[in-house]
Structure 1
Amino acid sequence: MPDKKLVRLAVLIDADNAQPSVAGALLAEVAKYGTSFVKRAYGDWTGTSLKGWKDQLLTQSIQPIQQFAYTQGKNATDSAMIIDAMDLLYTNRFDGFCLVSSDSDFTRLAARIRESGLVVYGFGERKTPKPFVSACDKFIYFDNIIFEEQIEAPEAVPSIPSTTIVPVEKRAPSAMVRFDARLNRQLRMAIEASSDEAGWANLARVGALISKQYPDFDPRTYGYQKLGELIIATGLFDIDYRRPGEGKAIVVYARDKRRKYARSPENGDSSSTHTPSRQRSYGPAE
Structure 2
Amino acid sequence: MAQTNDLLAVLIDADNVSPARIGPVLAEIAKYGTASVKRVYGDWTKPNLRSWKDAASEHVIHPIQQFDNTTGKNATDSALIIDAMDLLYTRRFTGFCIVSSDSDFTRLASRIREDGVTVYGFGERKTHESFRNACDRFTYVEVLEEPEKAAAAVDAAVPGRTPTAKLRTDGRLVSVLRASIGNASGDDGWASLATVGGLVRKQQPDFDSRNWGFAKLSELVREIGLFEVAANPGGGLRVRNGAPGR
Q: TM-score range by the shorter chain?
A: over 0.9
State the distance in 2 between where 1:253 and 1:20 align: 39
Matched, 1:171 2:161: yes
State the distance in 1 between where 2:228 and 2:237 align: 11
Do the aligned residues in 2 keep the contact of 1:139 with 1:216 (CA within 8 Å)? yes
Instruction: Please report how far the alpha carbon of residue 19 of structure 1 lies from its aligned counterpart in structure 2 after TM superposition.
Output: 0.5
AA matched with 2:123: G
Match for residue 34 of structure 1? 33
Q: Secondary structure at the match of 1:243?
A: coil
Q: Give matches, 1:144-183, under 5 Å.
A: 144-146=143-145, 149=149, 164-165=154-155, 168-183=158-173
Instruction: Please report how far the alpha carbon of residue 151 of structure 1 lies from its aligned counterpart in structure 2 after TM superposition.
Output: 9.8
Do the aligned residues in 2 keep the contact of 1:44 with 1:68 (CA within 8 Å)? yes
Q: Percent identity?
A: 53
Do the aligned residues in 1 keep the contact of 2:4 with 2:33 (CA within 8 Å)? no
Match for residue 138 of structure 2? 139
TM-score, normalized by length of structure 1?
Answer: 0.80
Match for residue 121 of structure 2? 122
Q: Secondary structure at the match of 2:101?
A: coil
| 5+ residue gaps, structure 1 | 154-163, 245-249, 259-280
Matched, 1:219 2:204: no
| 5+ residue gaps, structure 2 | none
Instruction: Please report how far the alpha carbon of residue 243 of structure 1 lies from its aligned counterpart in structure 2 after TM superposition.
Output: 3.4
Instruction: Please report how far the alpha carbon of residue 14 of structure 1 lies from its aligned counterpart in structure 2 after TM superposition.
Output: 0.3
Corresponding residue to 2:190 among 185, 196, 200: 200
Instruction: Please report how far the alpha carbon of residue 168 of structure 1 lies from its aligned counterpart in structure 2 after TM superposition.
Output: 2.3
Do the aligned residues in 1 keep the contact of 2:230 with 2:237 (CA within 8 Å)? yes
State the distance in 2 between where 1:69 and 1:10 align: 24
Change (3 A) 1:166 1:126: farther
TM-score, normalized by length of structure 2?
Answer: 0.93
Q: Give matches, 1:1-286, under 5 Å.
A: 4-146=3-145, 149=149, 164-165=154-155, 168-244=158-234, 250-257=235-242, 281=244
Change (3 A) 1:200 1:97: same
Give the total of aligned pairs.
243
AA matched with 2:217: L
State the distance in 1 between where 2:130 and 2:11 align: 19
Q: Secondary structure at the match of 2:31?
A: coil
State the distance in 2 between where 1:64 and 1:233 align: 43
State the distance in 1 between where 2:61 and 2:151 align: 32
